Chains A and B, each alone.
Chain A
């Protein structure tokens, strides 16, 4: 699909080691900063020890692949794409006894799976609203032993990562357009703009009464509007103004990332996009750390880690979303024992929509019992 963004390539510069001499951290400085980290994590213990009762490690063939959070009734919830397709799932109870885990249901839209853990006997996690947080609020991800696995801040508050939740007009604009009003260079067939009668060469002067001054303003304003919304657009054609009210469609734009950018991101979870409501944190976690409960400095569980998504980003499903989700029954899964299961390959490649669909299809297979 040809789109606004695909018309030009976004190059994003940042020097990577090689061009500049990058200092090693001297031993003395490392010792000092490590000592400080121990202090910080020690201070966090007042929070983290309160939450440890609800978090459990998940192993497959004796290697830990994720964590799970107790939701009561001997059930644990975990990241579906990391857990559901693995075999021989086991957790450890607080008494250090191994408990076999069985997949019994899923919330596919949230990439979550419900696991049965007979005899686990853990209390259900109490989910708190993330609305009390601000960008910059301290967050910590808590391990089964009650220690913090990571500490960071709320980098970006709740938002949808689904492009389809963003309004889409269906026009191309030269990103170099500057000044009041932007010229529409092309209009995509059957798009909102097309249906509203916008044609190439039209100048878009105002959106909802506000004069627009370039490509980025137009793009930002439209993407912050909802699908189905009918914003008033002031178009100028051959010197004559006219108002149009296009019904915005869901956005579907391919985004490109250079290989070099990807290489800086390190290992990421395969499913890390398309969440309809997530928090973003700079907590430094690994791909095997999904499912850790996330607490604020009051010890409230404000979410659960759902993906490592790059050098700067860990994604968290917010507490209120979890509460609402868990009030609904999961989709049932009838697991057949000894069913041959393909182990997933972790890769640093971002997940394409096709990959995601394939994974969801696999999950669907599981859901339908094969």
Chain B
């Protein structure tokens, strides 16, 4: 946890120069023009989603001409099909695809040929504290008297599992709706809020990108609210130490998938699934896009040698006993 905080601080100090500056009215006017353009271009892709079974309602955003919808996992949970309502009142149907519950991310597919109005996907990894963003959605459900209300705000901080905190106020019914950058690209999906109006949390779009194929295929995995104590959490099956920014294996039980793949005590972990990992939290966050049974490449440094092993992930509950011996 301490390492995580240290990393956040680093991000912030590295960012100080990058946060957008507002030095006068002309900067505000330029910003306003961009916000208005985002609203004009992206409103039609911001849809309301209603569960035909429970009547519960959320929002979503269409991200391809053939009708792929991104929304929140807790909006589609328990539904096979959703009613889609466009801002103009037009009604269509969508089939629910997969979800990564840890990221509160899910997908649905519009039924029908299209082409549908859609928004481009952005990159939430590039966002920095202070970046301006625009939120849309259907707060408190679809309302025929208005289009999706526009909310404007900034990135306030970054959270775990790729979540982004902004001061764009969202409320029930907005869940699953899009957060746009100033170029009108989707960078987040509304997920949850605190009473503090400055804390509105959005699932970062990069998490969707990492889980894309699995979600599209219809896989549902992970756990809402975090997976630390989830016995189904995918793990390599080794115990790590993290000293002086060096993460290495201190215990690799003989019956673990890591041992079977060839990993040994003393190996320094460099990359998992092609992503550089500096500490156990980062490794966990890479693994949340995968499931037990999936195979993942682990790049290590052993002495002066660099090696890559293919590990078949196990569920935490299945290997936990090995750690204790």
Binding site for B on A (CB under 8 A): 8-17, 19-23, 25-26, 28-30, 32-33, 36, 39-40, 42-44, 46-47, 134-138, 152-156, 159-161, 166, 175-176, 178, 213-217, 219-221, 223-224, 257, 260-261, 263-266, 280, 282, 284, 297, 310-313
Asked if A135 and B150 make an inter-chain contact with CB atoms under 8 angstroms apart, the answer reads: yes
Asked if B172 and A261 make an inter-chain contact with CB atoms under 8 angstroms apart, the answer reads: yes
CB distance from A160 to the nearest CB of B (A): 7
Asked if A46 and B144 make an inter-chain contact with CB atoms under 8 angstroms apart, the answer reads: no
In the bound assembly, the distance between CA atoms of A73 and B110 in angstroms comes to 60
Closest to B77 in A: A13
In the bound assembly, the distance between CA atoms of A154 and B193 in angstroms comes to 22
Give which listed residue, A47, A136, A220, contacts B38 with CB less than 8 A: A136
Asked if B57 and A155 make an inter-chain contact with CB atoms under 8 angstroms apart, the answer reads: no
Chain B interface, number of residues (Cβ within 8 angstroms) = 88
Q: Mark B5-49, 1 if CB is under 8 A from A, else 0.
A: 100110011011001111111011101100110111001000000
Jot down 13 A-B pairs with beta carbons below 8 A, ordered by A: A10-B55, A13-B56, A29-B157, A36-B19, A36-B21, A39-B23, A43-B28, A159-B146, A175-B55, A216-B89, A282-B151, A311-B169, A312-B174
Asked if B156 and A46 make an inter-chain contact with CB atoms under 8 angstroms apart, the answer reads: no
Give which listed residue, A16, A28, A175, contacts B9 with CB less than 8 A: A28
Asked if B36 and A134 make an inter-chain contact with CB atoms under 8 angstroms apart, the answer reads: yes
CB distance from B214 to the nearest CB of A (A): 22
CB distance from B51 to the nearest CB of A (A): 8
In the complex, B140 has a CB within 8 A of chain A: yes
Closest to A23 in B: B159
In the bound assembly, the distance between CA atoms of A286 and B145 in angstroms comes to 25
* Residues in A neighbouring B169, C-beta threshold 8 A: 282, 284, 311-312
In the complex, B178 has a CB within 8 A of chain A: no
CB distance from A63 to the nearest CB of B (A): 23
CB distance from A244 to the nearest CB of B (A): 21
Asked if B157 and A23 make an inter-chain contact with CB atoms under 8 angstroms apart, the answer reads: yes
* Residues in A neighbouring B142, C-beta threshold 8 A: 216, 220
CB distance from B207 to the nearest CB of A (A): 14
In the bound assembly, the distance between CA atoms of A260 and B173 in angstroms comes to 13
In the bound assembly, the distance between CA atoms of A11 and B58 in angstroms comes to 9
Asked if B91 and A153 make an inter-chain contact with CB atoms under 8 angstroms apart, the answer reads: no
Q: A33-B130, A265-B171 are in contact. Are A154 and B91 (CB under 8 A)?
A: no
* Residues in A neighbouring B156, C-beta threshold 8 A: 25, 29-30, 33
Closest to B89 in A: A220
* Residues in A neighbouring B193, C-beta threshold 8 A: 14-17, 22, 264, 311
Asked if B171 and A28 make an inter-chain contact with CB atoms under 8 angstroms apart, the answer reads: no
Closest 10 CB pairs of A and B: A220-B89, A15-B192, A136-B39, A11-B56, A155-B149, A220-B144, A14-B172, A136-B36, A12-B172, A23-B159
Q: A166-B145, A216-B142 are in contact. Are A176 and B28 (CB under 8 A)?
A: no
Q: A20-B225, A156-B149, A217-B89 are in contact. Are A311 and B201 (CB under 8 A)?
A: no
> Given known contacts A14-B170, A15-B175, what 4 new A-B pairs fall within 8 Å (CB)?
A11-B56, A160-B145, A216-B85, A311-B169
In the complex, B199 has a CB within 8 A of chain A: yes
In the complex, B113 has a CB within 8 A of chain A: no
CB distance from A258 to the nearest CB of B (A): 8
In the bound assembly, the distance between CA atoms of A46 and B174 in angstroms comes to 34
Asked if A19 and B55 make an inter-chain contact with CB atoms under 8 angstroms apart, the answer reads: no
Give which listed residue, B16, B24, B165, contacts A43 with CB less than 8 A: B24
Chain B CB within 10 Å — which of A10, A160, A260 has the most? A10
In the bound assembly, the distance between CA atoms of A75 and B67 in angstroms comes to 56
Closest to B21 in A: A39
Give which listed residue, A13, A138, A161, A178, contacts B75 with CB less than 8 A: A13
